[in-house]
Amino acid sequence: DGGITQSPKYLFRKEGQNVTLSCEQNLNHDAMYWYRQDPGQGLRLIYYSQIVNDFQKGDIAEGYSVSREKKESFPLTVTSAQKNPTAFYLCASSISTGNYEQYFGPGTRLTVT
Amino acid sequence: GENVGLHLPTLSVQEGDNSIINCAYSNSASDYFIWYKQESGKGPQFIIDIRSNMDKRQGQRVTVLLNKTVKHLSLQIAATQPGDSAVYFCAETNAGGTSYGKLTFGQGTILTVHP
C-alpha cells in the first residue's frame, strides 16, 4: 500500500524537552510538508521541502526544525523554544511543489505538559 | 496571543439532503483551489480541485463552484450521507506564482449529517 505514515499517533512530553515526529512516504513524491492544526482552526504550514537536502520555512517555523536526508523521510523536531507545542501535527506530500494536490498522513497528536 | 475559543462554522443536514459549504478567499492572485475532508482524528483527504479558468467542476456526488468576482468558492454535496460528516476545508494557492505548492487553508466548516 502506498501512503504516508506518521508515528506515533499520540505523543506526550514534558516541557523543555525536544521531541521528533516521524513522517515517511512511499509514494515517490519529491515534495513534503509539515502543518500544525489547533482546535477549531485550519492548517498552518511549518516547513516544506521541495527535494532532498532542501527545505524552506513556512508561516510558523519558529521553534521547529526539520531535515530531509532521504526522499522518503521528513522528520520534524519540536524544540523547547516552541512556546505552545501542544497541537495536532500533519505531514503531507505531493509529486512536486508544482503539483498542488497534497496527500496527508494520519497525524500525530503531541501533548506537552 | 493565541486565538482561543474559535468556533468553526457548522452545517447540519438530514441524510439525503443536498449540502452547500462555502468558502471566501482573500488573495485575488490565487488561481488553484482544493477542497479537503477531514474526519475526526485523521488527516485531510482530497475531494476535488478547480483552476481559476473554470467556474464549475463536478465529481462523484460533489460539485465545486468558483466565483472569482467575489472571491467565493462553494462545495455542493448531493444526497448527503452520514459518512459525509466531517470538517471541510478549502485551500488556495497561486499556481502561477512562486508559492512552490504552498497551500493556504481556510478555517473549515463542520458538516453533521443526521440519519
**Cβ <8 Å between B3 and A41:** yes
Q: Could you tell me which chain B residue has the CA closest to the CA of A95?
A: B101
Q: Is the pLDDT of residue B40 over 60?
A: yes
* Count of C-beta atoms within a 10 Å radius of residue B110: 17
Chain A interface test: which of B51, B57, B105 (most A C-beta within 10 Å): B105
A105 touching chain B per CB within 8 A: yes
What string of pLDDT tens digits covers the 113 residues of chain A?
A: 569 999 999 999 999 999 999 999 999 999 999 999 998 778 999 999 999 999 999 999 999 999 999 999 999 999 998 999 999 999 999 987 666 788 999 999 999 99
Q: What's the CA gap between B74 and A57, in Å, rounded? A: 30
Reported as a pLDDT band with limits 50, 70 and 90, residue B65 is very high
Q: What are the cell numbers at B58?
A: 463536478
Strands, DSSP E only, in chain B?
10-14, 19-24, 32-38, 45-51, 56-58, 62-67, 72-77, 86-93, 104-105, 109-114
Collect all residues of chain B within an 8 Å Cβ-Cβ radius of residue A58: 102
